[in-house]
């Protein structure tokens, strides 16, 4: 019995995405496109597996796309994809040879073929193998196109981001409540992870949780530090819903906060509130960045400000199957000339003196909308 796929988006939305890709193919004179970046396979086909074995989607400028995938992954593919045509690879097969044979069989082996030269799954050795297997083809660059198309989120994508944001709000509140003198980072992480699973996130992967002397390490690994009075507990929780990630940072002081800690937190929140309020359509990213970066430095909270103040949120493939856990297609820097548009979503963050605050923010026609809604405060346990 054939099972109807459980599509995460309507067939109409997938068709619109494919049409947008083909507009750019025609503009560049590309007759056939190879898509192998996992996030883009999801965007176009509705599915991807891990990158342990090569798989790709062949997109002709006219006609149905064809997926090349591992036979072991066929059931998962059929559960999620809207595509009809696919070719299976046994584990003993060379996926590049299967790809070349498929192109030859469809009369595409001598065509102008587009490749995602910025794909994380097209290392030099693999690209050279594809070119060697298709000596009569002409290869053209298709870098950045799909990254750009994915910047403006559809209503369905926003609904997944909003659900992830509601999960992270609740999970953060539960994790903060579990903190206290004598508890460990792992105790708190266990509560956050369990909340993710219970509330409907894809996995229990929490994100960075550090404390005490390591609280300023925003990307530190989970440790066994036992919380003591005066410690700061840093948490960045990053649940995903159907691969779409919302993110939230909050600091928690164990015991009574010092006056410096209270003042630092209050100042960071006030500055970031101003920055978020400036995130309107048409705003230039460097101007939005300056609001936070310049004021934090002017307040003497940091000697230098070397990191972004925000970056793109969206689909991360569950984070554990991709070689990156953040999307910097758009990032807030002093040199950033790009312009904010409705439908863009960002993780906005700032920090100093061992504590950090962040929000998941959607740009709408009317201005910024915080998807994360947890109280913006320095928590105390």
Residue 273: partners with Cβ closer than 8 Å, 6 or more residues away:
376
Q: What does the block give as tokens for 245? A: 């990630």
Dist CA 365 CA 342 (whole Å): 6
Domain boundaries, the chain: 11-149, 155-380
Specify the pLDDT at position 81.
97
Specify the pLDDT at position 1.
45
Residue 339: partners with Cβ closer than 8 Å, 6 or more residues away:
282, 283, 284, 285
Query: Which residues are bridge partners to 259 per DSSP?
Result: none
What's the DSSP call for residue 224?
Answer: -
Dist CA 83 CA 63 (whole Å): 11
Q: How far, in Å, are 9, 55, 120, 356 from residue 99 at the CA level?
A: 27, 9, 18, 47
Which tens digits make up the pLDDT trace of 215-225? 888 888 999 89
Q: Quickly list H helices, the chain.
A: 11-28, 38-45, 74-80, 95-105, 124-133, 145-149, 155-178, 185-199, 259-277, 285-298
Q: Quickly list H helices, 65-112.
A: 74-80, 95-105
Q: Which CATH class is domain 11-149?
A: alpha beta
Cβ-based neighbour number of residue 341 at 10 Å:
14
Specify the pLDDT at position 319.
57
Q: What does the block give as tokens for 159? A: 């609904």
Closest by CA to 301, choosing from 349, 268, 337, is: 268
Residue whose tokens read 């300056």: 290
Residue whose tokens read 């925003």: 218
Which tens digits make up the pLDDT trace of 156-203? 999 999 999 999 999 999 999 999 999 999 999 999 999 999 999 999
What torsion, rounded to 10 degrees, do the Cα atoms 38, 43, 48, 53 define?
-30
Contact 254, 231 (CB under 8 A): yes
| pLDDT under 50: residue ranges of the chain | 1
Contact 350, 296 (CB under 8 A): yes
Contact 370, 266 (CB under 8 A): no
Return the biggest CA–CA distance within the chain: 72
Length of the chain: 381
- 3-class secondary-structure state, position 85: strand
Which tens digits make up the pLDDT trace of 7-56? 999 999 999 999 999 999 999 999 999 999 999 999 999 999 888 899 99
Spacing of C-alpha 60 from chain mean position:
28
Contact 161, 313 (CB under 8 A): yes
Specify the pLDDT at position 3.
59
Q: Which CATH class is domain 155-380?
A: alpha beta
Dist CA 226 CA 95 (whole Å): 49
Spacing of C-alpha 127 from chain mean position:
25
Dist CA 75 CA 60 (whole Å): 25
pTM: 0.95
Contact 68, 57 (CB under 8 A): yes
Residue whose tokens read 């070349």: 100
Closest by CA to 348, choosing from 300, 299, 290, 289, is: 289
Contact 14, 40 (CB under 8 A): no
Specify the pLDDT at position 91.
96
Dist CA 324 CA 331 (whole Å): 15
């Amino acid at each position: 019995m054939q099972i109807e796929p459980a599509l995460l988006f309507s067939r109409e939305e997938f068709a619109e995405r494919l049409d947008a890709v083909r507009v750019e193919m025609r503009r560049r004179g590309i007759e056939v496109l190879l898509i192998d970046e996992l996030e883009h396979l999801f965007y176009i086909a509705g599915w991807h597996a891990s990158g342990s074995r090569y798989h790709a989607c062949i997109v002709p400028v006219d006609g149905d796309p064809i997926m090349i995938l591992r036979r072991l992954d066929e059931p998962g593919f059929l559960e999620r994809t809207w595509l009809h045509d696919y070719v299976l690879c046994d584990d003993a097969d060379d996926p590049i040879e299967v790809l070349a044979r498929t192109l030859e069989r469809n009369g595409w082996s001598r065509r102008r073929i587009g490749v995602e030269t910025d794909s994380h799954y097209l290392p030099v050795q693999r690209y050279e193998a594809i070119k060697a297997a298709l000596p009569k083809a002409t290869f053209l660059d298709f870098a950045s196109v799909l990254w750009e198309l994915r910047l403006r989120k559809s209503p369905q994508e926003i609904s997944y981001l909003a659900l992830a944001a509601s999960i992270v709000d609740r999970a953060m509140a539960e994790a903060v409540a579990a903190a206290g003198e004598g508890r460990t980072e792992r105790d708190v992480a266990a509560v956050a992870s369990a909340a993710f699973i219970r509330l409907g996130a894809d996995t229990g992967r929490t994100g960075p949780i550090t404390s005490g002397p390591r609280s300023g390490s925003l990307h530190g690994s989970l440790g066994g530090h036992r919380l003591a009075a005066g410690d700061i507990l840093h948490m960045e929780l990053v649940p995903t819903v159907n691969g779409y990630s919302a993110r939230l940072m909050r600091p928690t002081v164990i015991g009574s906060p010092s006056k410096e800690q209270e003042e630092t937190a209050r100042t960071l929140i006030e500055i970031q509130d101003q920055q978020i309020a400036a995130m309107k359509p048409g705003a230039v990213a460097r101007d939005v960045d300056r609001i936070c970066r310049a004021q934090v430095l002017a307040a003497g909270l940091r000697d230098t400000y070397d990191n972004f103040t925000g970056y793109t949120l969206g689909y991360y493939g569950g984070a554990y199957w991709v070689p990156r856990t953040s999307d910097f297609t758009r990032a807030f820097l002093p040199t950033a000339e790009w312009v904010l548009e409705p439908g863009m979503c960002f993780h906005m963050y700032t920090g100093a003196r061992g504590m950090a605050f962040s929000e998941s923010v959607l740009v709408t026609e009317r201005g910024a909308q915080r998807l994360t809604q947890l109280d913006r405060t320095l928590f105390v346990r």
